[in-house]
Structure 1
Amino acid sequence: MSATSGADLPEAGKPLLTTVAITASCVAFAVIGALQALYGPAIPALREQYGISPAVAGLSLSAHFVGALLGVLIYHVLRGRLNNRVLLGGSYLLMAAGAAAFAFSPDWIPALAGAFVTGLGFGGIDYGLNQLFAVGFGRRSTAMLNLLNGHFGIGAIAGPALIGWLGADRYPEIFLGIGVVCLLIPVTLGGVAAREPAPAAVEGGAAAGARVLPVIAVFIGVYVLHVAIETGVGGWEPTHLEAVGYGAATAATATSAYWAAMTIGRFVVAPLSLRWSAPSILTVCCAGMAGFLALAAVPALAPYAYFGVGLMIAPIFPTCLPWLNRAVPGVAAAGAYVIAASMIGGVAFPPLLGAVIDTMDVKTVPLVLLGLAAACAAMSVWLRGNASDPDGVIGLREAGAVRTDTHAT
């Protein structure tokens, strides 16, 4: 496939997103990143307002994730019937309405319903924009997806910082502010193409015959495992560091640095993806995860090693999605499967890992996660040999020919 193919120039040369729409999409991802990260810091205020226990207050995030999972699936089902502008616009409105309901519900059950509705919109935005960026920039889609998801990380850092600055009791105003932003973003949807072009089959690609299902299954495995490692480190790093002798303040700072690395890694990989193929990036990242987790088992290196784990995890989600679309171009649901799988992994694996670690010494946390990273690395090697990516291999000479043709001027 050449640089001027239909995949690179969707809708007969017109971009899927204008520059204004790209900017608005990045703002949207910062907003959903902030929103997801706000529930935890808001728990003290929720407990006081509704007179509930910490576990019950934590159901707000669970309701959000259940809604997000359904939002992904509903968006996918409706893609063939409604255009991108309608679906994204509806998702923004759902998130705005849900955020307002969560902020100002007089009772806990309506607040939970608000979190669920917010999640529905969140899932639609997450899936819809990831898919548009995955197919809308041709060979630059990996770079653009890393930039998009990097803004999610910016929001995830900024949200809790905002609550820390204003106070947990001001969470209603923060959620309402998010709702207002969600009402403004749809103004830019005129810059989003109504439909994506029909995918073209990749000659010699993995979409041929019986290899399709194994390829999708292994991609899902990579997504589930890397999210399990991501949430496992985020949840257990402070406990592990304190267990090996670090103070609570140091452990908290190191954990914040780990989440910051998740954002930094995506911005760093964005330009690198113009010269390195998605299979190469995935293989290096999975091997790097395993290597840094092995170093995290050494107490003196653990805080720094966890930062390295964050850097290695960061590019996996946005790097694999365009590769998946190229490897199985005839399976429209593939993107929905892996995004839904990543959400399921984020919800299901923390308690599973907790149950495993409860039977062992907490000092073994890096080694337990190392086992998952090794499995992820093995899957990356399998994908490299079985999910061909002819358009994703860009050398220096080819990269020079890939310009901003898909951007509106």
Structure 2
Amino acid sequence: MKELIRANFGLLAAGVATFVMMGAGQSLYGPALPAFARNLDLSMAAAAWLVSAHWIGCAIGVGFMYFAGTRVVPRHVIATMALGAALVTFGPGRFGAFGGALVFGAGYGAATVVFNPRILRAFGDKGTAMLSLLNASFGIGAIAIPLIFVWMGSNPAQTFGLVTVMAIAIWLGAGPAGRTGSASAETVVAEFHPHLALQLFAVVGIGLEACLIGLGPTALIDLGLSEESAAQHLSAFFTAFLGARVGLVLVAHLVAPFTLYIGAMLFSVACLSLGLIVSPGPFFVIIGLAAGLYFPSFYVSASKVMGDHPKTPATIIAAGLVGGILAPILLGGLLDEIGGRGLFLVLIIAAAGAAGAGLVVRLRLPELRGSGRLGL
């Protein structure tokens, strides 16, 4: 393992730093949404489109990677995110905010396709654990930025300015790993097996994650928390999120990834239900443990079924982006009417449906079960 890390240290370091910055950028939308609404004279429903603009940008980035991914290097996607964050910081009014979110999202989506398959392939049989570590680093930025946002006076432009500086620093420090492309489609011997039904689980998983991160703080405010407290709860949510992904590095070899996905959905149902019955704040924090498992558990599961073709990562991630785009649009538009309690109820139904369907699919696809040492 030490030899693998030494041989791929540049790639791993660039990936971890980029994911820290990605976590900071994405998690900033949630606590900043009320401030954006005030500053741009928007309703909460209209401001929620900022979250969707990010995910629409992700879809554009992933779509571009589907066709040109083998020629894109890490520095390209880092520069795109730097430009997007700079637009939010310095761009005029609504154009800067929405345009910046779109551009930042494009770099964000492309980065997931650039780094995830590279890490999974570079570390061989340790790839699942290192993929978990890469995605765990997302939580570091996501924990810090809501607290920094409050410390900076709840000013979205200034906080996105900090994200801009982070992106530029990573671009400068990426070194050779930032300029190295991936293997071309012709040199990778693998078949492409898209599985559209299986990808519906990515739609639900990323949709849940987008709503918890982007709309969760607003729901908490509706349920009685202050804006400052909601931002602090989001930071604590990402602490649990990070803990789950770090823990996954240690247990990834014990339990089949799709079993973890089903378990995360069931745990989400329990947390959201207890949030409504007992107290929303603490259980919003605890659900971060489940949210941290949504993407890595599904990504590895789908990769096993769909094969190691260069188009596989973009196809898997694109499916998740359908949920990331549509869920905030649909639920953000309804948030003024259904309130925080209604949002929690909708998410309970979605998570329960995904868990039930997952149990059925797990029985029908042998690739999704029994691959862990515990036989689960």
TM-score (norm. length: structure 2): 0.80
Query: How far apart, CA to CA, are the structure 1 residues paired with 2:360 and 2:197?
Result: 8
Q: Say whether residues 1:187 and 2:175 are aligned partners.
A: yes
Query: How far apart, CA to CA, are the structure 1 residues paired with 2:309 and 2:345?
Result: 36
Q: Cα–Cα, structure 1 residues 352 and 14, in superposed 2: closer, same or farther, change >3 Å?
A: same
Q: Say whether residues 1:126 and 2:116 are aligned partners.
A: no
| Matched-pair contact (CA < 8 Å) for 1:97–1:118 | yes
Q: Cα–Cα, structure 1 residues 312 and 114, in superposed 2: closer, same or farther, change >3 Å?
A: closer
Query: How far apart, CA to CA, are the structure 1 residues paired with 2:317 and 2:138?
Result: 15
Query: How far apart, CA to CA, are the structure 2 residues paired with 1:112 and 1:242?
Result: 24
Q: Any gaps of 5 or more consecutive residues in structure 2?
A: none
> In the TM superposition, what whole-angstrom CA distance separates every residue of 1:88-124 from its partner, at most 9, and x where no partner exists?
2222222233333443335653665444333322221
How far the C-alpha of 1:279 sits from its partner, in A, is 2.7
Q: Cα–Cα, structure 1 residues 60 and 16, in superposed 2: closer, same or farther, change >3 Å?
A: farther
Q: Cα–Cα, structure 1 residues 316 and 259, in superposed 2: closer, same or farther, change >3 Å?
A: same
Q: Say whether residues 1:66 and 2:44 are aligned partners.
A: no
Cross-structure match for 2:293: 315
| Matched-pair contact (CA < 8 Å) for 2:69–2:114 | no
Q: Which amino acid aligns with 1:261?
A: A
Q: Cα–Cα, structure 1 residues 16 and 78, in superposed 2: closer, same or farther, change >3 Å?
A: farther
> In the TM superposition, what whole-angstrom CA distance separates every residue of 1:239-261 from its partner, at most 9, and x where no partner exists?
46864xx6547666545433332
Q: Which is further off, 101-110 or 363-372?
A: 101-110
Q: Which is further off, 58-67 or 89-98?
A: 58-67
Query: How far apart, CA to CA, are the structure 2 residues paired with 1:351 and 1:45?
Result: 18
Q: Cα–Cα, structure 1 residues 109 and 326, in superposed 2: closer, same or farther, change >3 Å?
A: same
| Matched-pair contact (CA < 8 Å) for 2:15–2:134 | yes
> In the TM superposition, what whole-angstrom CA distance separates every residue of 1:268-291 from its partner, at most 9, and x where no partner exists?
122110222213222322222233
Q: Secondary structure at the match of 1:314?
A: helix
Q: Say whether residues 1:54 and 2:54 are aligned partners.
A: no
How far the C-alpha of 1:18 sits from its partner, in A, is 0.7
The 5-angstrom pairing of residues 96-115 of structure 1 reads: 96-105=82-91, 109=95, 112-115=98-101
Q: Say whether residues 1:138 and 2:116 are aligned partners.
A: no
Cross-structure match for 1:406: none
Query: How far apart, CA to CA, are the structure 2 residues paired with 1:380 and 1:307?
Result: 25
Q: Say whether residues 1:374 and 2:360 are aligned partners.
A: no
Q: Say whether residues 1:163 and 2:139 are aligned partners.
A: no
**What's the C-alpha RMSD, in Å, of the aligned pairs?**
3.8
How far the C-alpha of 1:65 sits from its partner, in A, is 3.1
Which of 261, 265, 287 is matched with 1:282 structurally? 261
| Matched-pair contact (CA < 8 Å) for 2:244–2:289 | yes
> In the TM superposition, what whole-angstrom CA distance separates every residue of 1:324-363 from its partner, at most 9, and x where no partner exists?
1221216643422331232332232134235667776854
Query: How far apart, CA to CA, are the structure 2 residues paired with 1:102 and 1:237?
Result: 20
Cross-structure match for 2:209: 230
Query: How far apart, CA to CA, are the structure 2 residues paired with 1:253 and 1:175?
Result: 19
Q: Say whether residues 1:270 and 2:260 are aligned partners.
A: no
TM-score (norm. length: structure 1): 0.74
Q: Which amino acid aligns with 1:349?
A: A
Q: Cα–Cα, structure 1 residues 59 and 182, in superposed 2: closer, same or farther, change >3 Å?
A: farther
Cross-structure match for 1:333: 311
Q: Any gaps of 5 or more consecutive residues in structure 1?
A: 1-7, 202-206, 399-409
How far the C-alpha of 1:74 sits from its partner, in A, is 0.3
Bigger radius of gyration among the two: 1
How far the C-alpha of 1:135 sits from its partner, in A, is 3.3
Q: Cα–Cα, structure 1 residues 127 and 17, in superposed 2: closer, same or farther, change >3 Å?
A: farther
Cross-structure match for 1:3: none
Cross-structure match for 2:328: 350
| Matched-pair contact (CA < 8 Å) for 2:113–2:317 | yes
- Report how many aligned residue pairs link the two structures: 366
Cross-structure match for 2:197: 218
Query: How far apart, CA to CA, are the structure 1 residues paired with 2:17 and 2:146?
Result: 17
| Matched-pair contact (CA < 8 Å) for 2:206–2:320 | yes
Cross-structure match for 1:259: 238
Q: Say whether residues 1:291 and 2:270 are aligned partners.
A: yes
| Identity rate, percent | 25
Q: Cα–Cα, structure 1 residues 117 and 360, in superposed 2: closer, same or farther, change >3 Å?
A: closer
Q: Which amino acid aligns with 2:116?
A: N
Cross-structure match for 2:162: 174
Q: Secondary structure at the match of 1:54?
A: coil
How far the C-alpha of 1:72 sits from its partner, in A, is 1.0
Q: Cα–Cα, structure 1 residues 119 and 240, in superposed 2: closer, same or farther, change >3 Å?
A: closer
How far the C-alpha of 1:71 sits from its partner, in A, is 0.8
How far the C-alpha of 1:47 sits from its partner, in A, is 7.9
Q: Say whether residues 1:154 and 2:132 are aligned partners.
A: no
Query: How far apart, CA to CA, are the structure 1 residues paired with 2:18 and 2:323?
Result: 23
Query: How far apart, CA to CA, are the structure 2 residues paired with 1:343 and 1:124?
Result: 12
